[in-house]
């Protein structure tokens, strides 16, 4: 059954923008360092958001009966982490996140507008965060996999960027941290991820519940 036309229009626009920027990332394939664009958490987030945008559009068009609520919720959490960490580091020192190395429109889409478009759907249309156990499992897998990807694969293979302690980790500030310091950083990040799950649940199921019901009654 087709959802209301406004939702379909919105999800179509979100998907088209997402797939454009996802393809845009690969308009010039990086062969060095190893890991290419997937060295960066932002691209993991963009990929998840693009998949979710495609799935939600398909659901609205009646092409599938699954809305992948848990995957959308996990993608929402990851995008929140990207926004928080990126802008925290950017306002500390833009060099920490390589600010200015990409076009301004790309920077703001990846680290602000894109995530916000996902959040609007998750909280105001979809009603994300309906299964905390499943979402927590997905976030746990992500929280372990990405640091392992950096430490076990990227760091031993790559020589840049370089820091005062090590080299090869995608974010310059990590290369200035000892192993134990990085472990603490990853542990704090995991804690933040799980806090954001419950923050997302509150937004979706308490704060925006009434507004979402009004949208569905249009």
Structure confidence by residue, pLDDT tens digits, 117-144? 999 999 999 999 999 999 999 999 999 9
d(CA 35, CA 7) in angstroms, rounded, equals 36
**Does a cis peptide bond (omega within 30 degrees of 0) precede residue 161?**
yes
Structure confidence by residue, pLDDT tens digits, 148-206? 999 999 999 998 888 999 999 999 899 999 999 999 999 999 999 999 999 999 999 99
| Confidence label for 89 from pLDDT (cuts 50, 70 and 90) | confident
What is the pLDDT, as a whole number, of residue 1?
A: 41
What is the pLDDT, as a whole number, of residue 28?
A: 64
| Confidence label for 100 from pLDDT (cuts 50, 70 and 90) | low
Tell me the C-alpha to C-alpha distance, in Å, between residue 6 and each of 13, 120, 213: 11, 13, 14
What is the pLDDT, as a whole number, of residue 114?
A: 97
Contact 135, 197 (CB under 8 A): yes
pTM of the entire predicted model: 0.91
Contact 128, 122 (CB under 8 A): yes
Per cent of the chain over pLDDT 90 is 71
Mean pLDDT rounded to a whole number for the chain: 91
């Amino acid at each position: 059954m087709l959802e209301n036309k406004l939702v379909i229009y919105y999800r179509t626009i979100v998907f088209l923008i997402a797939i454009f920027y996802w393809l845009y990332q690969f308009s010039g394939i990086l062969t060095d360092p190893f890991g290419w664009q997937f060295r960066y958490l932002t691209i993991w987030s963009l990929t998840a958001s693009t998949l979710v945008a495609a799935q939600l559009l398909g659901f609205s068009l009646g092409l599938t009966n699954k809305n992948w609520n848990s995957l959308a919720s996990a993608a929402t959490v990851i995008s929140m982490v990207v926004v928080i960490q990126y802008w925290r580091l950017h306002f500390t020192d833009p060099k920490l996140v390589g600010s200015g190395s990409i076009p301004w429109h790309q920077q703001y889409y990846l680290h602000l507008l894109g995530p916000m478009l996902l959040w609007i759907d998750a909280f105001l249309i979809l009603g994300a965060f309906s299964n905390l156990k499943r979402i927590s499992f997905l976030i746990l897998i992500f929280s372990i996999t990405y640091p392992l990807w950096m430490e076990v694969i990227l760091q031993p293979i790559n020589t840049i960027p370089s820091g005062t302690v090590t080299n090869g980790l995608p974010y310059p500030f990590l290369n200035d941290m000892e192993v134990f310091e990085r472990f603490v950083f990853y542990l704090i990040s995991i804690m933040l991820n799980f806090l954001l799950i419950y923050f997302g649940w509150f937004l979706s199921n308490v704060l925006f519940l009434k507004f979402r019901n009004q949208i569905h009654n249009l």
